[in-house]
Amino acid sequence: MNFLYLKEIVAQLKHRFRCPGCRKHYSNRSIDIFTPAGKELDVALTCHKCQIQTFAKVSFVDEDDIKLALEKQGLDTEALDLGTKPTTKGKRKHRNIKVSANHVAKVTENDVLDVKNFLKDFKGSFSSIFNNK
């Protein structure tokens, strides 16, 4: 993945997201980027003030794909501005980045103890736990 894309993704995440707990914006060091898969990228946003962690999925969408989807829904695409036109500095505003995030609750001390107690007496197969076959 191109470094400039990653830089723009981080800028968009910092601009668009705030911690759901304390409402502070995220900093560069609070954003962890995981291995990209195709046109998607997983990120974790961790608030350094209150330690709440949010996971987000970043998708790269082509302008033609967006227009096609809108046309299928019978919507007009003539006045569509996806922010991909160059700004006055010659840089793009954003690269058709779509971000969705879900709040994930903290893992508590009791959660860890529950797993420890479960594993202490566990006699089965781990594959039976993780595979729903």
Across 95-132, b (16+ Cβ under 10 Å) vs e yields bebeeebeeeeeeeeeeeeeeeeeeeeeeeeeeeeeee
Q: Tell whether 85 is covered by a domain.
A: no
In a domain, 115, yes or no: no
On whether residue 74 sits in a domain, the answer given is: no
The answer to whether residue 67 sits within a structural domain is no
70 in a domain, yes or no? no
What is the extent of the structural domain holding 45? 3-61+96-107
- For the question of whether the overall pTM of this predicted structure is more than 0.75, the answer is no
Tell me if 21 is assigned to some domain.
yes
In a domain, 88, yes or no: no
Query: Is 81 part of a structural domain of the chain?
Result: no
Please give the chain's pLDDT, 133 residues, in tens: 677 778 888 888 888 888 988 999 999 999 998 877 777 888 899 998 998 998 888 877 777 777 777 777 777 666 555 554 434 444 445 555 566 566 666 778 888 888 888 888 878 777 777 675 5
What is the count of structural domains for the chain? 1
